[in-house]
Amino acid sequence: MISRRKFLAVGSLAGASVLSGNKPLGMNVDDSVFTGSPIVISTWDFGIAANAAAWQILKNKGRALDAVETGVHVPEADPNNQSVGYGGLPDRDGRVSLDACIMDEFGNCGSVAGLEHIIHPISVARKVMEKTPHVMLVGAGALQFALEQGFKKENLLTPASEKAWKEWLKTAKYNPEINVENRLFSPAKLPGNQYNHDTIGMLALDAAGNMSGACTTSGMAYKMHGRVGDSPIIGAGLYVDNEIGGATSTGVGEEVIRNVGSFLVVELMRQGYSPDEACKEAVMRIIRKKPETAKKIQVGFLALNKKGQFGGYAIQKGFSFAVCDQNDQKQLIKSPSYY
Ligand code: GLY
């Protein structure tokens, strides 16, 4: 497993080769040998607390699937986190609607989109995976299924998020901002006319060498009712292939969906790209297709391969990700970025 310092050095070297158009010096997947050390990584600074919860399972030789579900429960239940779960900023109609998906080491997956009133959409997604013949349930059907499975119906709109929404209604301007995620922990500083969006995407490798991933969000704030982002879309917001590795994304979901971002990152790793090189190439696809759009938006990818190597890359500065392994449970790494 690479250390943080080594990771940063490898990242800059790899960046040069991607920019030059040469095939980068990636890992050879045939050389992929798992060291037996679990690791969990997740997007943004709130990933530190989420990783800590996941680590309690991983360190006791638990399954990566249980670790990622437990880990993302932390931001989902946090009323001060206005971009995931309870306390998430609502859509333009004032409704908090949640998107989430989960994927295990066997390629099983489950997803919910536009789910209202349930604090832990990730657990509903897992039930979809395990209890139904389907992959995805949406809206009223997802809620009906969750209630049938014993989930409790709750009001997810906190007073702080309701206040922000009412402020926003005064102008109702659609103006997604870059990295407002970083201000979410100071809600008092968040004017009501700001949009924000972000996601916790988590990838874990357990002591048995198996990988799972989870991705959960309240989506873009003040979105159109019914809008679905990348986070519940298998292949866009999350993808795991237990032979190769996994990837997840954060940022403007529409651009991730258009490029099937997380699947692309995993397929690039299959071709020999290292995680950071693969994330960079996925970002570059977005930038090359829509350079003017890309100047104004944020998208970040995060990847973990079967060796326990990890990497991230974003369009804009400001993306960070949390890493937790046996050496350090609280690493927060600033992602390299195009701008
Ligand atoms: N990446 C989260 C969203 O666009 O909804």
Looking at residue 178, what is its pLDDT? 52
What three-state secondary structure class fits 256?
helix
For the sheet containing 310-314, what is the strand order? 238-241, 245-251, 299-305, 310-314
Amino acid of residue 298: Q
What is the distance in A from the centroid of ligand 1 to the CA of 33?
33
Alpha-carbon gap, residue 13 to 3, rounded angstroms: 15
- CA-angle at 87, arms to 86 and 90, nearest 5°: 105
Give the chain's largest Cα–Cα span.
Answer: 57
Question: Phi/psi class of residue 36: alpha, beta or left (left: φ > 0; alpha: ψ in -120 to 50)?
Answer: left
pLDDT of 35 reads 65
CATH class (in words) of the domain with range 38-334: alpha beta
CA of 20 to the centre of ligand 1 (A): 30
Q: How many CB atoms lie within 10 A of CB 119?
A: 20
Give the relative orientation of helices 64-77 and 47-58 as an angle to the nearest 10 degrees: 150
Q: How many angstroms separate the CA atoms of 109 and 258, rounded?
A: 20
Sequence ranges of the domains in the chain: 38-334
Among the listed residues 203, 273, 240, 219, the one whose alpha carbon sits nearest the alpha carbon of residue 24: 273
Predicted pLDDT of residue 181:
46
Q: Quick one: tokens of 158?
A: 């906190």
- Testing ligand 1's pocket by substitution, the residue of 217, 258, 286 carrying the most ligand atoms inside 8 A of its CB is 217
What pLDDT sits at residue 68? Answer: 98
Q: Catalytic annotation on 199? A: yes
The first and second tokens of residue 165, run together, are 């929404």
User: In the chain, which residue ranges form alpha helices assigned H by DSSP?
Assistant: 4-19, 47-58, 64-77, 121-131, 139-148, 159-169, 253-258, 261-270, 275-289, 291-296
- Going residue by residue through the chain, which has 339 residues, state the pLDDT in tens, using 9 for 90 and above: 333 333 333 333 333 333 333 333 333 344 445 667 999 999 999 999 999 999 999 999 999 999 999 999 999 999 999 899 999 999 999 999 999 999 999 999 999 999 999 999 999 999 999 999 999 999 999 999 999 999 999 999 999 999 999 999 998 876 655 555 444 433 334 444 343 558 999 999 999 999 999 999 999 989 999 999 999 999 999 999 999 999 999 999 999 999 999 999 999 999 999 999 999 999 999 999 999 999 988 999 999 999 999 999 999 998 999 999 999 999 999 999 999
Residue nearest to atom 4 of ligand 1 (CA): 253
Q: Mutation test of ligand 1: which of 42, 230, 257, 301 has the most ligand atoms closer than 8 Å to its C-beta?
A: 230
Residue 49's SS3 state is helix
Q: State whether residue 246 is helix, strand or coil.
A: strand
What one-character DSSP code corresponds to residue 42?
E
Helix (H) or strand (E) holding 41: strand 39-43
How many whole angstroms separate alpha carbon 241 and alpha carbon 210? 10
Instruction: Report d(CA 84, CA 89) in Å as an integer.
Output: 8
